[in-house]
Structure 1
């Protein structure tokens, strides 16, 4: 078991989940609200660790978290928080469950409505009073490492981004990912890969975030290549490296934030039902190619376009060295393995439906963090007439 840098108390490795009981004892908490989905909680085996606590703790469940949580789930969770009054919130599951746990732990204390808090983060003035513990059952969202959570309000993606949404303790145990279905393994693995790449070239990147991103790539790329070649994610080496690499990627984006691949992905998820990691991965190849030919007039990176081109070269060199192939080839192999579209052109996105939301995405904060200024001209090749 190892401590992940970039977080005050994040531990990765087989057996990490077994530390939960001792950790709660150190936090001196008895009333626990466990936030999770209906299937992953049982399938992953995480329920065993909560059952073991029942004799010493009062446990309430907020279950049934759905992918891409909407404001209705947050309102329901806040109602449960205020009724039960937990001393600790434990989020278990993929990114959606962890995001819901973070959101309700923070927003239940606020005087303003959750909608107001998500639209106007400056009104978040009250301090989270309960402890927050996160245990991922996927290797890819990075939510266990970050201070932000995604919530959809009236069909629009909103981000909670405050320091108190960061967990007091994160326990990353690869054994909890063993039962993850193939499609989910591919999607979450590609999400982690995209986070690493985007963090590395981000306008807001720092030496610390770039070190984390490179460390993540060094673990993710060979593991994803092995999975692509064997057609399975069950190899213990794959699970171990993906769990570790995904958490490093999460630590990296907590500093740098993500960029255009994420900004452009949310509407694909919301409107087409594509898994988040799949939607992000479909944008990676063309963005890498666009950034590889970036010139100063289209560059917003503080170090200039040459630094961005060098970053792309670094990424591709690591991919060829560690995975034996470029990012595009690896991404397409994994998407094909999961039975997903391997290129964004296969979605046949009609311009009259998609140009407006994609253009709006380019005006978002995540897109503003992208080193290359993207325009409608960059989007048109992705769309059909």
Structure 2
């Protein structure tokens, strides 16, 4: 197949522009001319023989064609272009049209999918129509009979006519018939009419069918106003049409894509990791000759870009492949722009290109989405510059999950946060559009749906989850490509430059504060409130919450899960406190007090004011912070490992329960903000455990605190406690607990008869009252219940007349015998604090248990753990919850001995006296 482009017109409607320029030299937003774009897209579908009719400014057309050395372009001059129409140009080119022909006008612009679509249609001869548009007044329409084009003309306006654009796919027979009638017209002296006048006389012989371009962008540019309107619309369409190859096996297409681009020697821009990359192996195995440029830093500098440009030119390169993170993308884009403009200085936005340079982007991180933006960053004489040009958008993107397998943990986390921040920011950006919001929503949904699996501790690497996160990051890039980022990113640059935080980490820290501020602005009203309120509502919708506070709570859950280091070394600040001035304070402050004060002053804590615990216990205690959780969890994990070894050795059946079961399934370990481990044990196994404990079989490092071992036991479940002291304590239960430090909870699982009947409801009611009695006798009570005098009074009287030992016996009876039969088909965790209706399960759901990863251990969960979790937490138990202050349940503290002599149990060392 050949292509025929009519470029012999004068273009009077373009005004002053066509005095010195050919009409098709009009420059689009990406720096391409109309003619250059046509040639590029024709080459992309494999059409290499192109016939171009010419009138004025033929040298300009030849200059553009010279930038496509792989094309065979024949120019046919119409020397009387100013007195004839293109019917005469078609006549002059007739001897070259000896093949199937793709025919178009030289002022026609179309998206990259239009030509593949019309060529893929199995019908032999087609003309482009669009019944969804109104009929134009001054441009072509086509008359349609079913799908047969029966007339093409400017002057028809009947009901069976539709909008038409001069884009044809013609069989050799159809073009032959048309040329025959064109020859009749021209040889009869009729040269001032459209070629379609001749077509209309043989239209049934040509048998041209209607091909709808309703799903494509196809338009003629007749005026300067057309150029502005259509170039802007085509720009957005090009952004949307950028090919994102993310299916399995897409990386293997790289040699094919280079061949399609007719690249003889691409420049590969990649860092040191490229040497061990599958991309290198692929290129080497395919015999692709390439040059490698790795001489750039994480924050690319202009001399480095110019060195890459020299490599590109010196090695005769004709395409660019970027393999790496944001820096590789920036360098590759900058080299492309300079090479495409034959310059060593960056051109302005929309500046024309001298040549087209194909670029393929293969990101090795999932964060910035730089592979789908028209921006690049380069440092010039120490100052950061953002380069913007639509030509910077790569021609192809290949997303290969395997390239992220070795991504360092911190960069994996920070990159995802960058994508998250970009999606959120583009939603509320001033320049947000339905298109950008669509990208942002899809990106956010992918992040929220895949966040926990992406960071699951029990899975080494999940290819499909990683692929979805790559797509999320790409959507984030496509979103900000239209809107740019906002305040959180603007604020993040200082955090990155001054404190060395990764870009995404800094953006996420800023995001939380800005989001809270915007929510307050939207609530207070004002000129910005209406649009902002709508954007925040859209974010709430995709986050699956009802308020911005809850959406921010989900962001908190994400940040807590990632457990990133504080941007400032607070310990260093504490160590530098002036002891003399500190001693002059009206309230003594320990290092832990100082740490908390600094954290609040620097915005590293969510709650408004520092608090301390001192009620009902001697001394002073500091409540643990999120940064302390890994240490506490490590102690609890040590208990669990010993307990599991003990149970395995004695054939005792148990399962992770509630939050710990959820953590195992959703995270592969602890819920990141959880401070305890819960297990369930069937009653028969628990009875055997009691006997083994009574015989002294429990490891000496562990202690069982239960009704049977502790006369002051204060909760329904039992506890396996660590006997050796640690820095973690629960001072509020020190007077009743055998070892008030790290522990795991054991909930007995008991059979229940008629689990939702009257007797079960009575059982639940009585156990709830007995639980409260235990709490009251121990000096503790649930919040809210403390002020409920009507409920407290009878229970208070009960605790005064009934010995605690008797209450213990009643509880054991209510748990294990009151509503139980050996034939019961259901088991229940009656020790739970959740509604008991959510803690009753068919017996077979427990089974023998299956082992799953938990913080590097293999720990049993019920056979149908996922069904239990859905029953307890709802079907979306795998999603991101809302996290807020006080989310932890057990209130662990660290003890502060004195202002001047903190011990190992306290936070950092006190500053020296001098």
Q: Name the TM-score class by shorter chain.
A: 0.7 to 0.9
Supply the distance in 1 between the matched residues of 2:534 and 2:386 (Cα, whole angstroms): 29
8 Å contact kept, 2:515–2:552: no
Corresponding residue to 1:52 among 285, 288, 297: 285
**Deviation per residue, 1:324-376 (Å, 9 max, x gap):** 96112212321x1xx432x7896999xxxxxxxxxxxxxxxxxxxxxxxxxxx
Aligned position for 1:12: 246
Larger radius of gyration: 2
Aligned with 2:353 (options 111, 126, 151) = 126
1:340 aligns with 2:565: yes
Runs (5+) with no aligned partner, structure 2: 1-112, 114-237, 574-600, 605-914
Q: Distance in 2 between matches of 1:77 and 1:103?
A: 9
Aligned to 1:89: 320
The CA deviation string for residues 190-234 of structure 1, in whole angstroms up to 9 with x for no partner, is: 111111111111111111111111111111122223344537672
Deviation (angstroms), 1:317: 2.6
Q: Alignment partner for residue 65 of structure 1, among 285, 293, 296?
A: 296
| Whole-angstrom CA distance in 1 between matches of 2:568 and 2:542 | 21
Relative distance call for 1:188 and 1:164 in structure 2 (3 A) is: same
Counterpart of 2:337 in structure 1 is 106
Contact kept? 2:428, 2:536, Cα under 8 Å = no
Alignment of 1:1-385 (within 5 A): 6-39=240-273, 41-53=274-286, 55=287, 57-110=288-341, 113-114=344-345, 117=346, 121-122=348-349, 124-228=351-455, 230=457, 234-295=461-522, 300=528, 304-317=531-544, 326-334=554-562, 336=563, 339-341=564-566
1:237-273 per-residue CA deviation (whole Å, 9 max, x = no partner) reads 4312111111111111111221112122223223332
Mark the runs of 5 or more structure 1 residues left unpaired by the alignment.
Answer: 350-379
Contact 2:446–2:468 at 8 Å: present in 1 too?
A: yes
| Contact 1:134–1:144 under 8 Å retained in 2 | yes
Matched residues, number: 337
Q: Structure 1 58/271 Cα, relative in aligned 2: closer, same or farther at 3 Å?
A: same
How far 1:319 sits from its partner (Å)? 11
How big is the shift at 1:122? 5.0
Pair 1:231–1:255, CA change in 2 (3 A): farther
TM-score under structure 2 length normalisation: 0.34
Matched with 1:363 is none
1:27: Cα distance to partner? 1.0
For the 8 Å contact 2:244–2:399, the answer to whether it is kept is: yes
CA distance in structure 2 between the aligned counterparts of 1:5 and 1:319, rounded to whole angstroms: 33
Return the structure number with greater helix share.
Answer: 1
Tell whether the 8 Å contact from 2:427 to 2:535 is kept in structure 1 after alignment: no
On the 8 A contact 2:269/2:323 being kept in 1, the answer is yes
Residue pair 1:319, 1:326 contacting (<8 A) in 2 also? no
Aligned residues of 2:295 and 2:304 also touching (Cα < 8 A): no
RMSD of equivalent CA atoms? 3.3
Q: Is the Cα contact below 8 Å between 1:182 and 1:233 reproduced in 2? A: no
Greater relative CO, 1 or 2 (CA 8 Å, sep 6+)? 1
Residues 106 and 174 (structure 1), Cα distance of their counterparts in 2 relative to 1, 3 Å cut: same
Residues 170 and 229 of structure 1: CA distance in aligned 2, closer, same or farther (over 3 Å)? closer
Whether the 8 Å CA contact 2:454–2:466 is kept in 1: the answer is: no
Describe the SS at the equivalent of 2:359. Answer: strand
Structure 2 vs 1, CA of residues 229 and 43 (structure 1 numbering), >3 Å: closer, same or farther? same
Indicate conservation of the 8 Å contact 1:299/1:305, yes or no: no
Give the deviation of 1:61 after TM superposition.
0.7
